[in-house]
Structure 1
Amino acid sequence: MNAAIRQDAHGTSLWHAVSRSHGERPPLHGEIDTDLAIVGGGFSGLSTALHAAGKGLSVAVLEAEIIAWGATGRNAGFVVPNFAKLDPDSILAYLGPKRGERLIDFAASSADLVFGLIRQHRIDCDAVQNGWIQPAHSPAALEKVKSRAGQWARRGRPAVTLDRREVEALTGARGYVGGWMDRSGGVLNPVAYARGLADAAGSAGARIFERTRVTSVDRRADGWALKTPTGTVRAARVLIATNAYGGSLNPLLERTYFPLKVFQIATRPLPRDIRMRLLPGGQGVGDTRRNLFTFRFDADNRLISGGMHILGPGADTRVPQTIWRRLSAHLDLPDLPPLAYGWSGMAAVEPDFLPHLLDLGPGLIAGRACNGRGIAMTTAMGKILADWGAGTDARDLPLPFAPPARIPFHALLRHAPNMLLGWSMLRDRMDEKA
């Protein structure tokens, strides 16, 4: 039934397949000088470029492949303005009131920033800002999400709790005991959004080079020199915005996060009667299970879902089928259309599940803000990193800033999210029976 998955050696995503044709930008040739050099053409790099160019800085973006080639073009397109694991109260306890409040405010406005940029620059990316829903799979999870919604609502955010009937009416999914929704969240086509950011950054004056892999970043008396196979960029400040796709550019960075391979699938378009029953308002859903269950529709009524995998051979073909079966079961769709697309991407997960700025030297910084919240958080991170590019001290920005800290026993622990997935699935089932 599901033999029609379209997948090349790189796992071509739905978004790359359906987005408007991409006129590639030429690679760098020769030498250039710039105020700010950015390594990586994903959300964080492009948002930084757009906002920095808007401040009058000269900016160069160096992308090893094409715009949105990495995790930016391989996610599900959720715009979620909150943290994956921590809520406002726990962030205040963890970081203290001053730093905690600034980080909370940073996250709270992140989705509004994304959709505001889309409107401002007229980015055609099938954006829908009707909310992000988190249903609770158990009574214990419901108590947590009620607390979460209350904490955000007390800060003036459009967060509402949902009872069992409201969750079923909004999502079409049965079996949840309640949940909550942040009305400022939403969904979009991430590749089209990234390309729109690139176009806007280019119009503002940023220079963007594709097929331009940075091979070294070397200190100079007046800044940094970035070497590529066909050129050199000299810059006063440098941002490493590669997230989990940095390769060997800075080996230390690779040992400061957990790389998590996440799979996504998209079915063929659903019939109209089924489509009108599921998510009639067009929201995105990510529930409270440890083995997270997500779903949404694209503009052509393809049903999209994702998941992780237990370590083992054949994951690239095995996992998409597993996600498809899970989707069919959880949404009670025995006649779910076959898979049309299956792809995967790498996410960078921080040990504390918070965004971070890493101090790599004078005028050299790395930014990571995904942890499953990439679109909203990295766009917002780009806005504040533009301030850093213009001279603001990184210690005055709202994100935690420190030298990179290597995770002990990283060679073994880097596989922990996948190794523990089986145990997480068992705990989810135990929760539901409690």
Structure 2
Amino acid sequence: MTCPAVVTEPPYALSAPAAPDAPPLDTSLTVDVALVGAGFSGTIAALDLARRGLSVALIEAGEIGQGGSGRNHGQCIPVFGYLDQNTLPRHGFNLLRDSGRLVFDQIAALGIDCEPVQNGWLNAAHDAAGLVRARAAHAKYAALGKSGAFLGPDEVTALSGIPGYLGGWLHRDGGHLNPLAYVRGLAQAAQTAGVTIHTRTPLSGLRRAPDGTWLLTTPQGSITARKVGLATNAYGTAAIPARMRASIVPMTSYGVASEPLSPAQRAAVLPSGVNFSDTRRDPMFFRVDAAGRIITGGLVELRRGRVAAPTFAAAGQRLTARYPVLQGLQWGHHWTGTVGISAKQRPAIFELDDGLWGLLGYCGRGVPTSAVLGRAFAATLVDPADGARLWPADSPAIIPAARAIGLAVQTLRGPLNKLRDGLSF
């Protein structure tokens, strides 16, 4: 296995359309709503607010999608442990249930050029215990109309190209896309709807004025707004209220992308175009992008995910065990990002002060959940009671030693799960 020069950014920019022009803010603005963070949630919320007739300014410290939205694995997997009718409002439950469909329907409606593929997410059972877990998950989502019959071994092989699995199931609404192109397309749609977007505009100050409005200061400008929405997730800077930043456990994730597959390799790997994962505790998940690259990843450990060469070797070993045709596969991209885990391990909307709201904690499901939470956040900023019909508002939960917890979990989780799986790779 060879390792060419490593690119420390995802390959998404190689094929993504250019970002819309959004120069740094260098003046003073007055708007109904100011949003901070031009990722999936910020752009979706901005678009929804503009469609409701509000004036909106959206600022981003870096470039559009520079944080987790442009650094994830590009998978839309609408499967959630918190999809629970007993804890979520009925409308929010229904939106979350249909979140995969929401993503791809919006892409189609807006004409976003982001390499969307909605052929489903395949979960394959690797052993008897995994088969039990897969059947239980299938029963839940089949009852919601999101899956057909449970798949037998031959059907899993036909979809994945991998023999030996005991069965599995397909979530029909799953798929994959170029996440950087997706968020740039959302930003373009928001601009078209009337949103003012300024990149390279970090928030440097936030205070409430005597008249009840909020003043956001930036290095070269300022924004006065009736309402403020903070959608920075795990990328919040010191200007974001500390009690919001301290309400998540940050973890470092990594992604790797291979060089484009040969025609023979491409024909063998996920021939149906699905996203794939199996039921191992140390999960193997991957997809193939429009250029024929395999994209996979996980949480950074002591070496895997932290150092390129052993990370490439581990990914290649696992993939070659499933697809011998991949022997000698080369890797070109290795990047990292930050994942935010909330106290309740579900996305959280916080009221931090009168007219000041925060949104964070996607727990590794940013593509489908942002389609729901961006809308819920916009509704909350207009009318908290209306927003509560979509998603419950939580109080910020200060998590002591959050960074230490995140480091311990991401370092130990993989090795412990490999021991649980009884695997050597």
Select the residue among 48, 54, 58 that pairs with 1:57. 54
Q: Counterpart in 2 of 1:327?
A: 319
Whether the 8 Å CA contact 1:369–1:377 is kept in 2: the answer is no
Q: Counterpart in 2 of 1:231?
A: 221
Give the Å deviation of 1:139: 1.6
Select the residue among 237, 243, 251 that pairs with 1:260. 251
Deviates more, 1:21-30 or 1:65-74: 21-30
Q: Which amino acid aligns with 2:317?
A: R
Secondary structure of 2:164's aligned partner: coil
Give the Å deviation of 1:312: 5.7
Q: What does 1:61-140 align with in structure 2 at a 5 Å threshold? A: 61-83=58-80, 85-86=81-82, 88=83, 91-92=84-85, 95=87, 99=88, 101-140=90-129
User: CA–CA distance in 1 between the matches of 2:349 and 2:79?
Assistant: 18
Deviation sequence 1:371-403 (CA, Å, 0-9, x none): 121111112211122222322426624323122
Q: Counterpart in 2 of 1:381?
A: 373
Q: Counterpart in 1 of 2:231?
A: 241
User: CA–CA distance in 2 between the matches of 1:418 and 1:236?
Assistant: 39
Give the Å deviation of 1:287: 2.5
Q: 1:134 to 1:353 in 2, by over 3 A?
A: farther
Whether the 8 Å CA contact 2:32–2:55 is kept in 1: the answer is yes
Q: Which amino acid aligns with 1:180?
A: W
Give the Å deviation of 1:293: 1.2
User: CA–CA distance in 1 between the matches of 2:206 and 2:374?
Assistant: 21
Structure 2 runs not aligned, ≥5 long: none
Give the Å deviation of 1:170: 0.5
Secondary structure of 1:315's aligned partner: coil
User: CA–CA distance in 1 between the matches of 2:124 and 2:172?
Assistant: 14
Select the residue among 289, 292, 303 that pairs with 1:298. 289
Select the residue among 377, 380, 397 that pairs with 1:405. 397
Q: Counterpart in 2 of 1:27?
A: 24
Q: Which amino acid aligns with 1:241?
A: A
User: CA–CA distance in 2 between the matches of 1:171 and 1:258?
Assistant: 34
Secondary structure of 1:143's aligned partner: helix
Give the Å deviation of 1:73: 0.8
Deviation sequence 1:48-82 (CA, Å, 0-9, x none): 01111111111111100000101111111111222
Give the Å deviation of 1:336: 4.3
Secondary structure of 1:327's aligned partner: helix
Give the 4+ runs in structure 1 shifted more than 6 A: none
Whether the 8 Å CA contact 2:28–2:222 is kept in 1: the answer is yes
Deviates more, 1:36-45 or 1:380-389: 380-389
User: CA–CA distance in 1 between the matches of 2:293 and 2:387?
Assistant: 44
Whether the 8 Å CA contact 2:104–2:118 is kept in 1: the answer is yes
Give the Å deviation of 1:150: 1.4
Q: What does 1:280-295 align with in structure 2 at a 5 Å threshold? A: 280-295=271-286
User: CA–CA distance in 2 between the matches of 1:112 and 1:53?
Assistant: 22
Whether the 8 Å CA contact 1:226–1:233 is kept in 2: the answer is yes
Give the Å deviation of 1:334: 4.7
Q: 1:397 to 1:225 in 2, by over 3 A?
A: farther
Secondary structure of 1:393's aligned partner: helix
Whether the 8 Å CA contact 1:355–1:399 is kept in 2: the answer is no
Q: 1:126 to 1:334 in 2, by over 3 A?
A: closer
User: CA–CA distance in 1 between the matches of 2:191 and 2:222?
Assistant: 20
Select the residue among 155, 170, 179 that pairs with 1:190. 179
Whether the 8 Å CA contact 1:263–1:320 is kept in 2: the answer is no
Q: Counterpart in 2 of 1:200?
A: 189
Q: Counterpart in 1 of 2:40?
A: 43
User: CA–CA distance in 1 between the matches of 2:247 and 2:386?
Assistant: 19
Secondary structure of 2:282's aligned partner: coil
Q: 1:141 to 1:350 in 2, by over 3 A?
A: farther
User: CA–CA distance in 1 between the matches of 2:332 and 2:147?
Assistant: 35
CA RMSD of aligned residues (A): 2.2
Q: 1:350 to 1:160 in 2, by over 3 A?
A: farther
Q: 1:266 to 1:195 in 2, by over 3 A?
A: same
Deviation sequence 1:225-277 (CA, Å, 0-9, x none): 11111111111111111111113223322322221211111111112222122
Deviates more, 1:263-272 or 1:284-293: 284-293
Select the residue among 180, 186, 196 that pairs with 2:169. 180
Q: Percent identity?
A: 33
Q: Which amino acid aligns with 2:77?
A: V
Deviation sequence 1:62-104 (CA, Å, 0-9, x none): 1000001011111111112221x44x5xx346x2xxx364443
Whether the 8 Å CA contact 2:299–2:305 is kept in 1: the answer is no
Q: Counterpart in 2 of 1:415?
A: 407
Deviates more, 1:39-48 or 1:416-425: 416-425
Select the residue among 351, 355, 358 that pairs with 2:347. 355
Q: Counterpart in 1 of 2:270?
A: 279
Q: Counterpart in 1 of 2:146?
A: 157
Q: 1:211 to 1:125 in 2, by over 3 A?
A: same
Give the Å deviation of 1:40: 0.4
Q: Counterpart in 2 of 1:270?
A: 261
User: CA–CA distance in 1 between the matches of 2:217 and 2:163?
Assistant: 55
Q: Which amino acid aligns with 1:238?
A: V
Secondary structure of 1:415's aligned partner: helix
User: CA–CA distance in 2 between the matches of 1:101 and 1:180?
Assistant: 26
Select the residue among 360, 363, 372 that pairs with 1:371. 363
Give the Å deviation of 1:324: 3.2
User: CA–CA distance in 2 between the matches of 1:397 and 1:316?
Assistant: 45
Q: Counterpart in 2 of 1:342?
A: 334
User: CA–CA distance in 2 between the matches of 1:285 and 1:302?
Assistant: 14
User: CA–CA distance in 1 between the matches of 2:282 and 2:243?
Assistant: 29
Give the Å deviation of 1:133: 1.2
Whether the 8 Å CA contact 1:369–1:381 is kept in 2: the answer is no
Whether the 8 Å CA contact 1:258–1:415 is kept in 2: the answer is no
User: CA–CA distance in 1 between the matches of 2:136 and 2:400?
Assistant: 33
Q: 1:5 to 1:394 in 2, by over 3 A?
A: farther
Q: Which amino acid aligns with 2:276?
A: V
